[in-house]
């Protein structure tokens, strides 16, 4: 083997570190940096720019519309890279319309109505809670999305605040901006050149909170996400439930670039995704260094592909054979200088080859897998003889990887070009992309990362000035931030863990209403613990059961009832009995205890287990245990 | 003192702050304000926006407004001027492809933002068009001429006549077809005017526009333009037509006869409809497929009968219950020579108008009756009212649409003031503005909500 082609990068020679194997210092070595874009639906009756109802989902539709998207120039006179990429995919986009949830606005057959004022007020409130500066005039901007997820081809979005911060573990996480925007369609299917969307969610008001890349480990990203989501949730200004919040995670490593992992539904998925993306970028940077060492340049990779259909007409490689029988064209693309690289691991169970496969799937719309074969791949594809002919037709040595794609002529050609483009990207390192989160914690290519060039002022709506009076009214009604609540609770004597939980729990208001009732019989921590206990049949809500709780807590503080009684009783907890009556009840219960151990701790527990069910809620558990001890002594 | 051009669109007080802080437009700057610091690129301000705010483009591409009276200080870090240019590529010439001339009157095919007005400026040269709609080169060899740059509401007799003359000149030069780019609001007025002014056409004249401006990814402009160019280059239909979306989906365009077409929705893509008849043809990437055979065929000649004339002392009166005679009187008092009434039902107005109509006749005005139902014929014999109105000299204009009758009356009066001659011109159809019969499917306004109609729509009319 040519020594030039041997792998020398240590990262490529060793197995990738597993999730959980790296400590903060390990991530620091990678130069991991991560930021978040948290999207939350605002709680409003109507959509943002029309009068359709918000939050009504349905799987039925009465009509369909077919559209295509074309790239347009940005305000600064540039075409956006993502837009051009989407145009290459030549997708038919079909929207499913439900009469109840969509009007002519969502289907892009009518201009926008004026912005929903409640949504704007609520977005300003949240921006303020995050410590942002509020703009004096809101400019509606069009953010291009050519994937079809919005029928206009752009999302109407507007900045309401910039440069905020939230406290996190003794430091500060910077909030870059908060925007108010319309939600997109729900994707139903994306096969070949056809993509289908449901439009019920389209146009619902959404806030996007963008942090700076201030997080340094995968777990920090999750925790900061939790803080941002809790903040908006305690405010009561956003929707909750499945799909009401989604986040995009931005990740980069030393030598890498900002990669956006889109639409991560659950915060719990974030750490593994961030870890794996850190590995992928580190691998791509190592591959880049390997290529640099070999002297491979972009101009060494011309847009060149060879039609090898005739060589593989009767191949045993069934995927290709079936495709060719249906008229597919088979094209081969040699990648000189990429020796030993296609099999390099980038993520768990994933190699560098998937970078090519993903581009082909998304851009050439060849989505039946496998959608490419590699001459140096250790997998059953073409026979040795077939590979020899293919390699020879490409005019390269046998050690040079040759990638083969198949599909309709135009798609196969798009695929071949994408292979060359992706290979050239490898010379540059990590291409700027948005990637989709996969179920196994890895991620796949979604599209080229859009830049600022996709922004365009919305000429359909005038700017909205925010008068001081409006801001004053919103600021005056702001709820406390969770971290302020937590500090307050600790000052009130609640233990740290309970204070943290209660600060973002709906029972917080009830706690504050009742804490004045605490006395010798009940501490603030005791009250917090009681309200957070899920086994109580009454909801811990000031609105729903405030009076009942007040009366009950008063009795508890006065020693009239025991805490356990609150969990048990459907109605009011039973009053604590006088000692003589309680003793009689205990004696009766004791008499029914069957044969069994009576010695030591085991005997004590055995007897407790039998007498307690009849006494619970009437006599405090610790009193019963004292009596059991006395009885056994 | 700075040059005013350093601050396009800004007026006092925002202008004062920018001047005082030496922060012209295109400055990369940080604005220190009482609401916090904001950093970005200072953009021009739309002239129709208020004078109190400064527009800032943040690094993320978003724009915000900063109220000038909150600004304490501006720090300028640099400068970045936007160079907005639609990519221009030489339009390829193919000797076997037909020659098509695109005449621009306004509207947008490709466009860019005009910072001063906040509106969009059309791109128009063949190179610019090829840069944005390269598919055009598959269809024809395109030449362009920008005749006017007006919104369609500002089109009028002068532009109609100018456009007709320009088209006639191109036909004499031997083009295979003409495309007229036009704003959509009054496209049907211009289509009617061109039909009357350009008779015996040897080639297609195709009017086209867009309902979603071409600065939007979902714009219908490119597809409409490609369809129009294909029609002009290859169609056998030598008439003035409107080529716009059939359904709201990106499926096919319809070719409507210039005298029977009307814009029927303020914003839908599929806004243009043929009224009281069926369209001429559909057009898509497969070509032009006629729905009917009674159209004027393409001929290999280079002449056209140009009749560019117009008397603009004509008005449409849209009748409503309780209309007072002074409406008609004031037109006559102001020297109007022709009145098109859009009457109720089969062509009626109320009795109090009778003296005014009598006065109009005495003054020598030409008064024609059309129907505000848009579909159907005027029939003034059915009810006594109709007969009385005809007695007052009002002439029924069959199934000519009110706007078409308006254009035609102005055109006829441009040629003669003689009542009989004007009547002859008005009631002799040039090309379908009056038809002898209305097919049953010439009136199809389907009613949504009816299950079988909704089923048809979800299945076929996407």
Q: pLDDT, tens digit, for every residue of B237-275?
A: 999 999 999 999 999 999 999 999 999 999 999 999 999
Distance CA A507, CA A494 (A): 14
Angle at A430 between CA A426 and CA A433, to 5 degrees: 115
CA–CA gap between residue A302 and residue A334 (Å, rounded): 10
- The per-residue pLDDT for A78 is 64
List the 228-257 stretch of B: residues with Cβ below 8 A of A: 248-251
**B388 CB within 8 Å of a chain A CB:** no
Give the minimum alpha-carbon distance from A385 to chain B in angstroms, rounded to a whole number.
42
Q: Which segment of B17-26, B75-84, B138-147, B387-396 scores lowest on mean pLDDT? A: B75-84
Q: Which CATH number fits domain A296-432: 3.40.50.150, 3.30.1360.30, 2.40.50.140, 3.10.20.740?
A: 3.30.1360.30
Top pLDDT among A47 and B105 is at A47
B32 touches chain A (CB under 8 A): no
Query: Over 50: is that where the pLDDT of B117 sits?
Result: no
What distance in Å separates the CA atoms of residue A566 and residue A310, rounded to the nearest whole number? 81
The DSSP bridge partners found for residue B459 are none
Query: Does the structure show a pLDDT above 80 at A535?
Result: no
A144, A194, A187, A197: which is closest to A365 by C-alpha?
Answer: A194
Residue A482 banded pLDDT, cuts 50, 70, 90: confident
State which residue of chain A sits closest to B48, comparing Cα positions.
Answer: A462
pLDDT tens profile A257-267: 999 999 898 99
Rounded CA-CA distance B115/B9 in Å is: 8
pLDDT above 60 for A112 = yes
In this structure, of A229-238, A500-509, A515-524, B303-312, the range with the lowest mean pLDDT score is A515-524
Place of tokens 């198949």: A406
Which residues of chain A neighbour B457 with C-beta distances below 8 Å? Answer: 62-63
| Stretch among A80-84, A563-567, B353-357, B369-373 having the lowest mean pLDDT | A80-84
The pLDDT confidence band at residue B1, using thresholds 50, 70 and 90, is: very low
User: Over chain B, what is the mean pLDDT?
Assistant: 91
Cα B287–B290–B291 angle (5° rounding)? 140
Decide if pLDDT at B121 tops 70: no
Task: For CA atoms A480, A486, A492, A498, give the dihedral sign.
Answer: positive
pLDDT of B4 strictly over 90 = no
What is the nearest CA distance from A160 to chain B, expressed in angstroms? Answer: 8
Give the architecture-level CATH label for domain B314-427.
3-Layer(aba) Sandwich (3.40)
Q: Collect all residues of chain A within an 8 Å Cβ-Cβ radius of residue B37.
A: 133, 163
For residue B101, CA distances in Å to A141, B142, B174, B233, B305 come to 36, 6, 10, 9, 19
Q: Is the separation of the CB atoms in A41 and A373 below 8 Å?
A: no
pLDDT of B3 strictly over 80: no
Nearest chain A Cα distance for residue B9, angstroms: 15
- Return the axis-axis angle of helices B419-427 and B402-413, rounded to nearest 10°: 140
Interface test with A, best of B54, B123, B218 (most A CBs within 10 A): B218
Q: What is the pLDDT of residue A104?
A: 95
Identify which has the larger pLDDT, A534 or B183: B183
**In the predicted structure, residue A347 carries a pLDDT above the cut 90:** yes
* B63: closest CA of chain A, how far (Å): 6
C-beta of residue A629 within 8 angstroms of C-beta of residue A620? no
Domain ranges of chain A: 31-258, 296-432, 480-571, 580-632
- Tell me what pLDDT residue B83 has: 67
- From chain A, pick out residues whose CB is under 8 angstroms from the CB of B87: 79
CA distance B161 to B307: 9
What confidence score (pLDDT) does residue A330 get? 97
Percentage of chain A with pLDDT > 90? 65
pLDDT of the residue at A382: 95
Q: How many residues does chain B have?
A: 462
Query: What pLDDT band is residue B92 in, cutting at 50, 70 and 90?
Result: confident
- Cα separation, A244 vs A506, in Å, equals 18
| Dihedral pair phi/psi, residue A5, rounded to 5° | -90, 0
**Per-residue pLDDT band at A79 (split at 50, 70, 90):** low
Please state the length of chain A: 633
**Which residue in chain A has the smallest CA separation from B211?**
A109
Does position B302 have pLDDT exceeding 60, yes or no?
A: yes
* B354-362 vs B384-391: helix crossing angle, rounded to 10: 30
- Lowest mean per-residue pLDDT among A326-330, A483-487, A585-589, B7-11: A585-589
The yes-or-no verdict on residue B89 having pLDDT over 80 is no
Q: Closest CB to A177: pick one of B35, B60, B218.
A: B60
- Output the CA torsion sign for B257, B262, B263, B265: negative
Interface of A with B in 53-72 (CB under 8 A): 61-72
pLDDT at A80: 66
Q: Are B135 and B178 in contact (CB under 8 A)?
A: no
Residue with tokens 């540059």: A428
Instruction: Supply A113's token pair.
Output: 């109505």
Higher pLDDT, A217 or A89: A217
In Å, how far are A46, A133, B46, B227, B295 from A126, measured between CA atoms? 19, 11, 30, 49, 63
Structural fold of domain B99-306:
Rossmann fold (3.40.50)
The answer to whether B214 faces chain A, any CB pair under 8 Å, is yes
Nearest by Cα to B109 from B120, B124, B99: B124
Contact A514, A553 (CB under 8 A): yes
Q: How far, in Å, CA of B417 to CA of B401, rounded?
A: 22
Average pLDDT, integer, range A33-50 = 96
Contact A70 B222 (CB under 8 A): yes
Q: Are A173 and A193 in contact (CB under 8 A)?
A: no
Looking at the domain B4-79, which fold is it?
SH3 type barrels. (2.30.30)
Distance CA B207, CA A431 (A): 45
Confidence at A207, pLDDT banded by 50, 70, 90 = very high
Helices (H), A142-244: 218-234
3-state helix, strand, coil in chain B (%, to 5): 30, 25, 45
pLDDT tops 50 at residue B116: no
> What is the Cα–Cα distance from A277 to A434, expressed in whole angstroms?
12
**Chain B residues closer than 8 Å to A457 by CB:** 63, 113, 118
The rounded distance, in Å, linking the Cα atoms of A405 and A320 is 9
* Residue A139 to residue B59, Cβ atoms within 8 A: no
- pLDDT in the model for residue B102: 92
B284 interface with A at CB cutoff 8 Å: no
Residues of A within 8 A of B33 (CB-CB) are: 133, 136
Percent of chain A with pLDDT over 70: 97
Which region among A112-126, B86-100, B373-387 has the lowest average model confidence (pLDDT)? B86-100
Nearest CA in chain A to B248: A65
Average pLDDT over residues A126-147: 93
Q: Is the Cβ pair B82, A65 closer than 8 Å? A: no
Rounded to the nearest integer, the mean pLDDT of chain A is 91
Q: For residue A327, is pLDDT > 90?
A: yes
Distance of CA A545 to the CA centre of its chain: 35
pLDDT band for position A569 (cuts 50, 70, 90): low
Mean per-residue pLDDT, B334-360: 96
Q: Decide if the complex's ipTM is over 0.85.
A: yes
Query: Residue B106 has what pLDDT?
Result: 76
Q: Which residue of A has its CA nearest to B34?
A: A133
How far is the alpha carbon of A119 from chain B, nearest alpha carbon, in Å? Answer: 18
The pair of structure tokens assigned to A311 is 């060589």
Query: Are residues B289 and B283 in contact, defined by beta-carbon separation less than 8 angstroms?
Result: yes
The DSSP symbol for A494 reads -
pLDDT of A295 reads: 95
Of A75, A136, A452, the CB nearest to B70: A136
The CA distance from B254 to B241, in Å, is: 9
Interface of A with B in 141-200 (CB under 8 A): 141-144, 146, 151-154, 157-159, 162-163, 176-177, 179
Check whether A599 has a pLDDT greater than 90: no
Please tell me if residue A456 touches chain B, with a CB cutoff of 8 Å: yes
Residue that wins the pLDDT comparison between A617 and B209: B209
Q: Check pLDDT > 60 for residue B120.
A: no
Closest chain A C-alpha to B36 CA, distance in angstroms: 5
- Per the CB < 8 Å rule, is A66 touching B52? no
Contacts of B93 (CB under 8 A, 6+ apart): B141
d(CA B164, CA B196): 10
Mean pLDDT over A349-353 rounds to 95
Question: Could you check whether B99-306 and B314-427 share the same CATH topology?
Answer: yes
Mutation choice for A interface testing from B51, B63, B459 by most A CBs within 10 A: B63
Confidence at B113, pLDDT banded by 50, 70, 90: low
Q: How many CB pairs under 8 A join A and B?
A: 171
In terms of DSSP bridges, do strands B261-263 and B272-274 run parallel, antiparallel, or are they unpaired? antiparallel
Taking an 8 Å cut-off on Cβ atoms, the answer to whether A69 and B215 are in contact is no
Instruction: Establish if B14 touches chain A: CB-CB under 8 angstroms.
Output: no
Q: Cα–Cα distances in Å, from A96 out to A154, A206, A508, A612?
A: 18, 21, 42, 60
Chain B residue with minimal CA distance to A136?
B66
Cα–Cα distance, B67 to B58 (Å, whole number): 15
List the domain boundaries for chain B. Answer: 4-79, 99-306, 314-427
Residue A519: pLDDT band (50, 70, 90) is confident
- For residue B14 the two structure tokens come to 């925002």
pLDDT at A573: 78
Quick check: A135 and B65 CB within 8 A? yes
Residue of B35, B50, B249 with shortest CB distance to A133: B35
- Residues of B taking part in catalysis: 108, 184-185, 263
Q: Does B49 touch chain A (CB under 8 A)?
A: yes
Which of B125-129, B183-187, B197-201 has the largest mean confidence? B197-201
**B3 contact A CB<8A:** no
Q: Strands, DSSP E only, in B48-152?
A: 53-57, 63-67, 71-79, 99-104, 110-113, 120-123, 141-146
The bridge status of strand A194-198 relative to strand A92-97 is parallel
């Amino acid at each position: 083997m040519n020594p030039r082609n041997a792998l020398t990068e240590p990262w490529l020679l060793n197995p990738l570190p597993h999730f959980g194997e790296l400590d903060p210092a390990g991530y620091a070595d990678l130069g991991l940096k991560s930021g978040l874009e948290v999207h939350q639906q605002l709680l409003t009756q109507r959509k943002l720019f029309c009068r359709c109802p918000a939050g009504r989902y349905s799987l039925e539709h009465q009509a369909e519309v077919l559209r295509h998207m074309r790239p347009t120039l940005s305000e600064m006179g540039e075409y956006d890279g993502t837009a051009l990429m989407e145009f290459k995919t030549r997708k038919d986009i079909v929207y499913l319309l439900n009469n109840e949830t969509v009007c002519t606005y969502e289907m892009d057959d009518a201009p926008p109505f004026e912005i929903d004022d409640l949504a704007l007020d609520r977005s300003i409130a949240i921006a303020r809670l995050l410590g942002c500066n509020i703009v004096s005039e809101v400019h509606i901007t069009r953010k291009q999305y050519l994937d079809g997820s919005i029928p206009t081809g752009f999302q109407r979005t507007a900045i309401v605040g910039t440069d905020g911060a939230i406290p996190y573990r003794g430091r500060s996480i910077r909030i870059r901006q908060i925007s108010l925007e319309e939600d997109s369609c729900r994707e139903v299917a994306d096969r070949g050149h056809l993509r289908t969307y449901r439009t019920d969610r389209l146009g619902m008001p959404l806030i996007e909170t963008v942090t700076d890349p201030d997080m340094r480990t995968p777990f920090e990203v999750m925790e900061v996400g939790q803080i941002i989501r809790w903040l908006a949730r305690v405010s009561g200004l956003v929707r909750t439930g499945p799909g009401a919040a989604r986040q995009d995670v931005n990740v980069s490593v030393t030598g890498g670039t900002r990669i956006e992992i889109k639409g991560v539904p659950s915060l719990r998925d974030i750490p593994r995704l961030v870890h794996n993306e850190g590995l992928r970028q580190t691998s791509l940077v190592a591959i880049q260094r390997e290529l640099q060492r070999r002297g491979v340049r972009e101009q060494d990779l011309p847009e060149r592909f060879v039609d090898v259909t005739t060589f593989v007409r009767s191949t045993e490689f069934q995927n290709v054979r079936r495709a060719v029988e249906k008229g597919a064209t088979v094209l081969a693309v040699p990648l000189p200088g990429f020796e030993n690289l296609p099999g390099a691991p980038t993520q768990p169970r994933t190699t560098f080859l998937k970078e090519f496969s993903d581009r082909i799937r998304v851009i050439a719309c060849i989505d039946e897998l496998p959608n490419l074969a590699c001459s140096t791949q250790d997998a059953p594809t073409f026979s040795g003889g077939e590979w020899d002919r293919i390699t020879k037709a490409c005019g390269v040595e046998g050690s040079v990887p040759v990638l083969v794609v198949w599909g309709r002529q135009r798609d196969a050609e798009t695929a071949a070009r994408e292979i060359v483009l992706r290979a050239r990207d490898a010379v540059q390192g990590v291409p700027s992309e948005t990637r989709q989160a996969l179920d196994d914690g890895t991620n796949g290519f979604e599209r080229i990362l859009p830049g600022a060039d996709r922004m365009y002022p919305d000429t359909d709506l005038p700017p909205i000035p925010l008068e001081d009076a409006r801001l004053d009214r919103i600021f005056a009604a702001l709820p406390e931030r969770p971290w302020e609540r937590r500090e307050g609770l600790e000052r009130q004597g609640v233990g740290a863990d309970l204070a943290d939980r209660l600060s973002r729990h709906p029972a917080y208001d009830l706690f504050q209403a009742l804490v004045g009732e605490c006395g010798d019989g009940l501490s603030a921590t005791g009250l917090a613990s009681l309200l957070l206990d899920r086994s109580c049949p009454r909801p811990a809500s000031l609105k729903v059961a405030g009076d009942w709780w007040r009366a009950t807590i008063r009795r508890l503080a006065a020693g009239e009832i025991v805490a356990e009684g609150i969990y048990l009783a459907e109605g009011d907890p039973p009053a604590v009995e006088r000692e003589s009556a309680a003793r009689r009840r205990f004696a009766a219960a004791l008499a029914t205890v069957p044969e069994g151990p009576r010695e030591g701790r085991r005997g004590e527990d055995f007897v407790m287990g039998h007498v307690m069910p009849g006494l619970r809620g009437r006599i405090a558990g610790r009193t019963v245990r004292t009596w059991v001890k006395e009885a056994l002594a | 003192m700075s040059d005013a051009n350093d601050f396009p669109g800004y007026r006092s007080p925002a202008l004062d702050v920018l001047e005082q802080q030496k922060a012209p437009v295109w400055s990369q700057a940080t604005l220190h304000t009482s609401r916090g610091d904001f950093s970005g690129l200072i953009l021009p301000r739309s002239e129709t926006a208020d004078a109190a705010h400064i527009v800032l483009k943040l690094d993320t591409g978003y724009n915000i407004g900063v109220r000038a009276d909150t600004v304490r200080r501006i720090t300028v870090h640099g400068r970045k001027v936007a160079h907005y240019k639609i990519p221009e590529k030489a339009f390829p010439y193919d000797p076997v492809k037909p020659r098509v001339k695109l005449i621009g009157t306004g509207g947008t095919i490709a466009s860019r933002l005009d910072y001063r007005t906040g509106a969009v400026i059309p791109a128009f040269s063949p190179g610019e068009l090829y840069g944005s709609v390269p598919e055009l080169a598959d269809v024809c060899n395109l030449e362009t001429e920008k005749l006017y740059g007006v919104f369609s509401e500002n089109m009028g007799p002068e532009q109609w006549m100018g456009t007709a003359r320009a088209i006639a000149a191109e036909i004499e030069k031997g083009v295979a077809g003409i495309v007229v780019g036009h704003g959509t609001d009054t496209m049907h007025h211009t289509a009617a005017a061109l039909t009357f002014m350009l008779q015996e056409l040897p080639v297609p004249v195709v009017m086209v526009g867009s309902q979603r401006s071409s600065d939007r990814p979902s714009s219908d402009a490119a597809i409409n333009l490609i369809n129009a160019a294909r029609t002009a280059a290859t169609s056998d239909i030598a008439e003035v037509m409107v080529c716009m979306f059939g359904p709201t989906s990106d499926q096919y365009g319809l070719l409507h006869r210039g005298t029977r077409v009307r814009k029927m929705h303020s914003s839908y893509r599929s806004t243009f409809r043929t009224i009281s008849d069926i369209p001429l043809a559909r057009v898509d990437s497969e070509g032009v497929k006629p729905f009917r055979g009674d159209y004027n065929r393409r001929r290999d000649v280079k002449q056209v009968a140009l009749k560019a004339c117009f008397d603009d002392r004509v008005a449409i009166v849209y009748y409503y219950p309780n209309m007072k005679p002074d409406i008609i009187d004031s037109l006559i008092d102001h020297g109007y020579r022709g009145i098109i009434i859009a009457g109720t039902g089969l062509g009626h107005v109320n009795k109090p108008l009778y003296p005014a109509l009598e006065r109009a006749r005495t003054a020598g005005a030409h008064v024609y009756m059309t129907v505000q139902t848009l579909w159907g014929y005027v029939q003034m014999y059915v009810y006594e009212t109709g007969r009385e109105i005809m007695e007052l000299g009002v002439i029924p204009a069959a199934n000519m649409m009110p706007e078409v009758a308006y254009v035609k009356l102005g055109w006829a009066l441009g040629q003669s003031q003689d009542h009989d001659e004007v009547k002859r011109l008005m009631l002799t159809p040039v090309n379908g503005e009056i038809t002898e019969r209305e097919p049953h499917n010439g009136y199809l306004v389907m009613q949504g909500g009816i299950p079988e109609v909704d089923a048809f729509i979800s299945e076929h009319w996407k």
